[in-house]
Amino acid sequence: IKRIGVLTSGGDAPGMNAAIRAVVREGLHLGLEVYGIYDGYAGLHQDRIEKLDRKSVSDVINRGGTFLGSARFPEFKKESVRREAIENLKKHDIDALVVIGGDGSYMGAKKLTEMGFPCIGIPGTIDNDIPGTTYTIGFDTALNTVVDAIDRLRDTSTSHQRISIVEIMGRYCGDLTLGAAVAGGAEFVVIPEKGYNEAELLKQIQAGIDKGKKHAIIAMCEHVTDVNVLAKHIEKETGRETRATILGHLQRGGTPTARDRIMASRMGSYAVKLLIDGEGGRCVGLMNSQMVHHDIIDCIENMKRPFNQELFDLSDSLF
């Protein structure tokens, strides 16, 4: 292969820029030409493709977001649209594509691979919800952001003997919530992997109050329940002022942590080396501190994410 493309797709995550930079610089280092594709699959379809050089990725390692831009582009599910996208890649003589994104983006990469165009997926999402890897780029930065928010809520909750519910991103993966709960010392953690029983939660909160707890922080993964409604129920049940804080998109932004930059650099470089070795249709990941790669189709269809039971037990025993 001589020319590769790189794009970021789906939800943005801090560290994506560091991953693009690694793909570009490792590619150039190994004698490839590298093309940047703007706004994910949308830009691929609209032929917004530009050659990148070393300088194109100067001063981006420290920046959150993705300078290539990202987009939701549901039209990419249509085979005819993907066919046109492949034509654009061929027009630029691009032989392979690195896709940085979440599981939706992997689906797009998988389908392009099935149509004969080799893609390599790099896991970029704050949710940590991708199979075949124990780590996704952006997770650590988001985790630190959430812990910082919990620390702040704790200060004000303690002063007012208030109960705080913090809604944390993760889609249907509780890793961000669980990590933040342990690091932030939250009293309760609710994650999709463990189910949810409101009556049981209310009982436990009351038990905490009876034991003399001055405040409570409930770390709640998004999509589990309506946190504002829950806040009303808790107030009614306990008589304690209760507030819900939905952290929302602020979890996606910010300067990437060193861990995210290093991970993004390793994954970006590894993806390029795989392409040089003639591998296509793979996704890269981290397992036992080592870079690994899997068949992207097998990864999406068959692999399961492991659940960190030890951390969950810890959140329970340290409460």
What separation in angstroms does the CA of 153 have from each of 5, 145, 182, 215?
43, 13, 15, 10
197 vs 254: CA distance, rounded Å: 34
Query: 197: buried, middle or exposed (CB in 10 Å: 19+, 13-18, 0-12)?
Result: exposed
- Residue 7 C-beta: closest distance to ligand ADP, Å: 10
User: Binding site annotation covers 213?
Assistant: yes
User: Binding site annotation covers 185?
Assistant: yes
Annotated catalytic, 148? Answer: no
User: Binding site annotation covers 260?
Assistant: no
- Residue 190 C-beta: closest distance to ligand ADP, Å: 23
- Residue 298 C-beta: closest distance to ligand ADP, Å: 16
Cβ atoms of 49 and 18 within 8 Å: the answer is: no
User: Binding site annotation covers 170?
Assistant: yes
Cβ atoms of 214 and 161 within 8 Å: the answer is: yes
- Residue 51 C-beta: closest distance to ligand ADP, Å: 23
Give me the phi and psi of 228, to 5 degrees please. Answer: -70, -40
User: Binding site annotation covers 251?
Assistant: yes
Closer by beta carbon to ligand ADP, 215 or else 252? 252
15 vs 311: CA distance, rounded Å: 25
Strands 119-123 vs 282-287: parallel, antiparallel or unpaired: parallel
299 vs 319: CA distance, rounded Å: 36
Tell me the residue number closest to ligand ADP, measured at CB. 104
User: Binding site annotation covers 11?
Assistant: yes
48 vs 164: CA distance, rounded Å: 45
- Residue 125 C-beta: closest distance to ligand ADP, Å: 5
Closer by beta carbon to ligand ADP, 72 or else 233? 72
- At a CB cut-off of 8 Å and minimum separation 6, what does 265 contact? 18, 19, 21, 22, 61
Closer by beta carbon to ligand ADP, 185 or else 253? 253
User: Binding site annotation covers 127?
Assistant: yes
What separation in angstroms does the CA of 134 have from each of 94, 131, 268, 312?
30, 8, 16, 16
- Catalytic residue, from 95, 127, 140, 260: name it: 127
Closest among 312, 220, 263 to 134, alpha carbons compared: 263
- Residue 117 C-beta: closest distance to ligand ADP, Å: 13
Q: Please tell me the total number of residues recorded for the chain in this structure.
A: 319
User: Which residues sit at the interface with ligand ADP, rule CB under 6 A?
Assistant: 9-11, 41, 72-74, 76-77, 101-105, 107-108, 111, 125
Region for 195 from its dihedrals, namely left if φ exceeds 0, alpha if ψ lies in -120 to 50, beta otherwise: left
State the binding site for ADP.
Answer: 21-25, 154, 185-187, 211, 213-215
Provide the annotated binding site for substrate: 125-127, 162, 169-171, 222, 243, 249-252
Catalytic residue numbers?
127
